[in-house]
């Protein structure tokens, strides 16, 4: 056995090799031959034998709808960034570049399906009918999520990476136990669980896969592979394309162009249908790119090259739909102008709401910690509220 005491690390000071230089470039992978695509970055419709039929009903009106969704979501996302810069939000987690991955998935859901998001799923929230202003509290620090997760069928954002994959699996097991799978298309349900490429290294995600497989749970694991986990590139998390991992757990995995809203819709519809009919779980890898910083606290110039972003801008999820609508379907400028106007109005409403948000009162700290609160906690609250009042409520 070699003696660890005598181990000498290699000298990092030596001249950079070609490998070192190339290792500075990430996110250049085009997705490979198995990438499902229905709308090219140039705005051309292409067919896919397996999934094309899933969106046969999508005509110009539907496409205009998805375009509108993406523009509106991007617009309030940009406003979130601006509000953080102006000190109105503590942080904002941008979804820039992931609009198609989220709208495609979100528009495939029925009102019965359940969603477990991570923390970047503002576009999915939008599709669940959650007003964007309801997201603000998390980032302003007034609440941990203001919507009713059960009513919206959209769970609270989960920040601890990977946790929700097990929670989603358990929920899906419940759907199955209640007979809401593989029976009646009017009542069948599925669960969709969102997480990132970095999250796939987390034990909870692996365990979620194992459990979902063991119980045939109707859950779609929807991984948005945006190529980065803060500063850590995809290569650090996996040797194989992420969708291929599903095979090892015994269920299907599909890689879809995450910047193609039609393909994301088609694959999500298929995946959810598989689950609802009792063939779950399914893994979908939406191959996309985080076009902005990880959060407003992050500075990506420290770890990735701007060239990467320039390349991905050519694959922008919104632009390709616009080009398609104009060139192939002859949609005129009035439509785009009206969406623009609507998005500006949404941003203004989003901003106004944010500026007017009241802080919660101190009693919120003590509420709903328990169904049955201890006398000690009651006393802590009473003591603190009396103390707080002694400052005239101005502490």
By beta-carbon proximity to ligand TPP, the closer residue of 315 and 351 is 315
Mark residue 92 as left, alpha or beta (left: phi above 0; alpha: psi -120 to 50; beta: remaining): beta
Q: For residues 125-154, which are near ligand TPP according to CB under 6 A?
A: none
| Separation between Cα atoms, residue 359 and residue 354, nearest integer Å | 11
| Separation between Cα atoms, residue 158 and residue 145, nearest integer Å | 10
Q: Which residue among 89, 115, 138, 161 contacts ligand TPP (CB under 6 A)?
A: 161
362: burial class by Cβ within 10 Å (0-12, 13-18, 19+)?
middle
By beta-carbon proximity to another protein, the closer residue of 273 and 298 is 298
- 395 interacts with another protein by CB under 8 A: yes
By beta-carbon proximity to Mg ion, the closer residue of 136 and 291 is 291
- 160 interacts with ligand TPP by CB under 6 A: yes
Stretch touching ligand TPP by CB under 6 A, among 15-23, 32-40, 194-202, 253-261: 194-202
Helices then strands, each counted (H, E), the chain: 14, 7
Stretch touching ligand TPP by CB under 6 A, among 15-23, 213-221, 224-232, 256-264: 224-232
Tokens of 308: 């990467």
Stretch touching ligand TPP by CB under 6 A, among 29-37, 179-187, 197-205, 382-390: 197-205
**CB of residue 177 vs Mg ion: minimum separation in angstroms?**
33
Tokens of 372: 């049955």
Question: Tokens 């987390």 correspond to what residue?
Answer: 202
Tokens of 104: 């495609």
| Separation between Cα atoms, residue 80 and residue 90, nearest integer Å | 10
Q: For residues 271-330, which are near another protein according to CB under 8 A?
A: 297-298, 302-303
By beta-carbon proximity to ligand TPP, the closer residue of 173 and 199 is 199
Residues in Cβ contact with 116 at an 8 Å cutoff, skipping those fewer than 6 apart: 155, 158, 164, 165, 167, 168, 171, 191, 192, 193, 194
Interaction pattern, residues 176-205, with another protein; x per rule: CB under 8 A? ----------------------xx-xxxx-
Q: For residues 74-133, which are near ligand TPP according to CB under 6 A?
A: 120
Binding site for Mg ion (CB under 5 A): 196-197, 226, 229
Q: Which residues are catalytic?
A: 290, 294, 303
By beta-carbon proximity to another protein, the closer residue of 305 and 331 is 305
CB 245 within 8 A of CB 183: no
By beta-carbon proximity to Mg ion, the closer residue of 165 and 229 is 229
| Separation between Cα atoms, residue 20 and residue 336, nearest integer Å | 45
Tokens of 61: 């009106």
What is the helix (H) or strand (E) element at residue 223, kind and residue range?
strand 219-225
**CB of residue 131 vs another protein: minimum separation in angstroms?**
19
Question: Tokens 């190339």 correspond to what residue?
Answer: 22
Q: Which residue among 145, 198, 218, 253 contacts ligand TPP (CB under 6 A)?
A: 198
- 309 interacts with ligand TPP by CB under 6 A: no
How many Cβ atoms are within 10 Å of 150's Cβ, its own excluded? 9
- Widest Cα–Cα separation across the chain: 75
Binding site for ligand TPP (CB under 6 A): 120, 159-161, 196-199, 226, 228-230, 290, 294
Binding site for another protein (CB under 8 A): 3-5, 7-12, 90-91, 119, 137-144, 159-162, 198-199, 201-204, 229-232, 236-237, 297-298, 302-303, 359-360, 362, 364-366, 369, 376-377, 380, 384, 387-388, 391, 395
């Amino acid at each position: 056995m070699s003696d660890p005491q005598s181990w000498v690390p290699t000298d990092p000071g030596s001249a950079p090799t070609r490998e070192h230089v190339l290792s500075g470039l990430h996110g250049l992978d085009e997705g490979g031959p198995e990438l499902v695509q229905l709308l090219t970055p140039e705005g051309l419709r292409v067919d896919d034998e397996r999934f094309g039929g899933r969106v046969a009903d999508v005509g110009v009106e539907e496409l205009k709808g998805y375009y509108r969704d993406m523009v509106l979501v991007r617009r309030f996302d940009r406003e979130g960034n601006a509000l953080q810069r102006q000190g109105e939000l503590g942080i904002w987690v941008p979804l820039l570049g992931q609009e198609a991955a989220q709208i495609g998935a979100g528009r495939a859901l029925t009102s019965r399906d359940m969603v477990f998001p991570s923390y970047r799923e503002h576009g999915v929230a939008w599709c669940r009918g959650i007003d964007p202003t309801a997201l603000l509290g998390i980032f302003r620090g007034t609440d941990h999520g203001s919507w009713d997760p059960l009513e919206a069928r959209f769970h609270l954002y989960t920040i601890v990476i990977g946790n929700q994959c097990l929670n989603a699996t358990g929920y899906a097991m419940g759907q199955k136990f209640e007979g809401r799978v593989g029976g009646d298309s009017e009542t069948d349900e599925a669960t969709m669980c969102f997480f990132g490429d970095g999250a796939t290294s987390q034990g909870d995600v692996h365990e979620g896969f194992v459990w979902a497989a063991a119980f045939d749970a109707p859950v779609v694991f929807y991984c948005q592979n945006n190529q980065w986990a803060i500063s850590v590139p995809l290569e650090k998390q996996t040797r194989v394309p992420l969708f291929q991992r599903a095979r090892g757990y015994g269920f299907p995995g599909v890689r879809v162009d995450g910047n193609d809203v039609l393909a994301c819709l088609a694959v999500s519809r298929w995946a959810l249908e598989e689950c609802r009919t009792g063939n779950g779980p399914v893994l979908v890898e939406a191959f996309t790119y985080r076009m902005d910083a990880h959060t407003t606290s992050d500075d990506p110039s420290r770890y990735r090259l701007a060239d990467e972003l320039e390349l991905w801008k050519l694959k922008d999820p919104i632009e390709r739909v616009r080009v398609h609508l104009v060139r192939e379907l002859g949609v005129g400028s009035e439509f785009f102008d009206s969406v623009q106007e609507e998005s500006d109005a949404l941003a203004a409403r989003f901003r106004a709401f944010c500026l007017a948000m009241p802080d919660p009162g101190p009693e919120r700290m003590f509420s709903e910690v328990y169904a049955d609160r201890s006398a000690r906690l009651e006393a802590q609250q009473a003591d603190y509220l009396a103390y707080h009042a002694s400052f005239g409520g101005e502490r």
